[in-house]
Structure 1
């Protein structure tokens, strides 16, 4: 039976002077992505999402709503097949300063929603299209 692994993260947004911004990261593979990471013992999935966002990007957020779950299987040289689930939430930035966790990601920045969508389409992971699209719909952004 495959090992199960749960990760969580979020589509982080902020509203500044009436402007909506979406946070995107550039991961260590040079791809556009969303902050996320593995669940630690004793954590809820929501706690994992908020901790990982803070660790990777420096932003302290608040979960507004679930977005969706991506599920896939990958091969690990130690454990063999791993069934992975990544839970994504819509997260509003409340505090903190943008600061990439250099060990994990290359950069983090805020983008206008349409710019964020276009960057995701051009340089992101395909399975994140659905996540970002759903999050933008929740934020009432017309693409």
Structure 2
């Protein structure tokens, strides 16, 4: 079985400073908003819908960042081939509001603090996604 999801690294510019959004998932890990593609959607539409649903933020895609592929075991479907498409997304509106049915919280961070949170409490496969997003925003961080 194959499952396709999409999401993004959301950023905004506030008082001429860039901020990056991270969510805390139901397991307490810092991560990026993402979710499963619905019938008739493109991966880009999925990314923007999932960001809006999980965080309350409306955005526009700036650039594709990365596609991550991995497998996991589903109790009913067995081995699932998972594909997640990530985009750099500029926040254009909405109000920050965590979808509490799905996640514990959502917050804006200084880009260097977001990187620190990712390295300390994030999923390892998101390191390259966030690093590529920060590079696209012309922000350097230590690997």
Shared fold, TM over 0.5: yes
Give the aligned partner of residue 69 of structure 1. 67
Q: CA deviation at 1:113?
A: 0.3
Over 2 Å off, 4+ runs: none
1:123 aligns with 2:118: no
TM-score (norm 2): 0.98
> Across the two proteins, how many residue pairs are aligned to each other?
141
Q: Deviations along 1:15-36, whole A, 9 cap, x unmatched?
A: 0111000000000000000000
d(CA) in 2 for partners of 1:133, 1:102 = 27
The answer for unaligned runs of 5 or more in structure 1 is: none
Q: Aligned Cα RMSD in Å?
A: 0.4
* Aligned counterpart for 2:24 among listed residues 19, 23, 26: 26
User: 1:63-142 to 2 correspondence within 5 Å?
Assistant: 63-142=61-140
The answer for unaligned runs of 5 or more in structure 2 is: none
Q: Deviations along 1:4-25, whole A, 9 cap, x unmatched?
A: 0000000000001110000000
Q: CA deviation at 1:111?
A: 0.2
Q: Deviations along 1:67-109, whole A, 9 cap, x unmatched?
A: 0011001011111110000000000000000000000000000
* Aligned counterpart for 1:42 among listed residues 40, 45, 50: 40
